[in-house]
């Protein structure tokens, strides 16, 4: 589903539009002219639905060259092994999450607590996935005619990045689980969630003056996204907490 110039929504679960399996985060496909980039991989449950969404938009799966992961939680990254194995995509992930993804480390990725909380079913599996490129703050990814800047955005979890793409003067941010429409955030009772890291992340994202926001859950925003990010930033500046999704 085309949602903006050169951007498609290709998957989304019950926190979004139900375009794919209920457990999936929002997934985006970016047209970099000579090739395509996918942002996040979904839960790995029925990933063929995502393939169908891409192909029905007229895109050849062989042209999807890169899979950029914002972090390695199950709803964003458990599908990565499927896309790498089936289509040879290069998997890009935050440095700290590389070993967690390659070892399918259920403790570091909080899969156990999420199962106990009923977020994932008991039979949910996280297949390990080889990482081709581990990225850190300010790394630049040149893919086709697009340049993606990596921004480390811990808070929701460690090993979390966002991808900034300035396209023809429009500041576009793929924010994963760092900041959402309405200035919401995603605090969870897991080992690597940090309020203070979160406040610094939101301050950093606020300074980018983002036009278009494509988050991992909920609605995406096509203009004045900075106003939403500002709402979260102002809450942290008052030493309070923004609303949680
Ligand atoms: Zn997450």
Inter-residue contact 68 to 44 (CB < 8 Å): no
C-alpha of residue 231 to centroid of ligand 1, in Å: 21
C-alpha of residue 60 to centroid of ligand 1, in Å: 29
In order of 36, 59, 90, 121, 150, the CA distances from 62 in angstroms are: 9, 9, 12, 32, 24
Ion ligand 1 neighbours (CB, 5 A) are 73, 177
C-alpha of residue 71 to centroid of ligand 1, in Å: 7
Instruction: Say if pTM beats, i.e. exceeds, 0.95.
Output: yes
Exposed e or buried b per residue across 156-179, where buried means at least 16 C-beta atoms within 10 angstroms of its C-beta? bbbbbbbbbbebeeebbbbbbbbb
C-alpha of residue 74 to centroid of ligand 1, in Å: 8
C-alpha of residue 208 to centroid of ligand 1, in Å: 22
Q: Show pLDDT as tens, one digit a residue, over the chain (245 residues).
A: 999 999 999 999 999 999 999 999 999 999 999 999 999 999 999 999 999 999 999 999 999 999 999 999 999 999 999 999 999 999 999 999 999 999 999 999 999 989 999 999 999 999 999 999 999 999 999 999 999 999 999 999 999 999 999 999 999 999 999 999 999 999 999 999 999 999 999 999 999 999 999 999 999 999 999 999 999 999 999 999 999 99
C-alpha of residue 44 to centroid of ligand 1, in Å: 15
C-alpha of residue 34 to centroid of ligand 1, in Å: 30
C-alpha of residue 156 to centroid of ligand 1, in Å: 7
C-alpha of residue 80 to centroid of ligand 1, in Å: 15
């Amino acid at each position: 589903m085309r949602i903006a110039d050169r951007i498609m929504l290709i998957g989304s679960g019950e926190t979004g539009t139900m375009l794919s399996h209920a457990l999936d985060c929002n997934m985006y496909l970016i047209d970099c002219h000579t090739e395509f980039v996918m942002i996040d991989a979904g839960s790995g449950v029925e990933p063929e639905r995502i393939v169908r969404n891409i192909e029905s938009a007229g895109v050849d799966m062989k042209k999807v060259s890169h899979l950029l992961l914002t972090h390695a939680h199950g709803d964003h990254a458990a599908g990565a092994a499927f896309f790498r194995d089936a289509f040879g995509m290069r998997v890009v992930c935050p440095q700290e999450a590389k070993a967690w993804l390659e070892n399918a480390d259920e403790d570091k990725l909080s899969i156990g607590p999420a199962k106990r909380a009923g977020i994932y079913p008991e039979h949910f599996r996280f297949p390990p996935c080889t990482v081709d490129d581990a990225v850190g703050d300010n790394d630049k990814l040149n893919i086709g005619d697009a340049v993606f800047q990596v921004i480390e955005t811990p808070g929701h979890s460690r090993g979390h990045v966002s991808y900034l793409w300035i396209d023809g003067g429009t500041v576009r941010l793929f924010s994963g689980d760092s900041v959402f429409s309405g200035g919401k955030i995603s605090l969870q009772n897991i080992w690597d969630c940090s309020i203070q890291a979160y406040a610094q992340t939101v301050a950093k994202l606020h300074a980018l003056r983002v036009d278009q926001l494509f988050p991992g859950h909920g609605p995406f925003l096509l203009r004045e996204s900075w106003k939403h990010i500002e709402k979260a930033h102002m809450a942290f500046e008052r030493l309070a907490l923004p609303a949680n999704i």
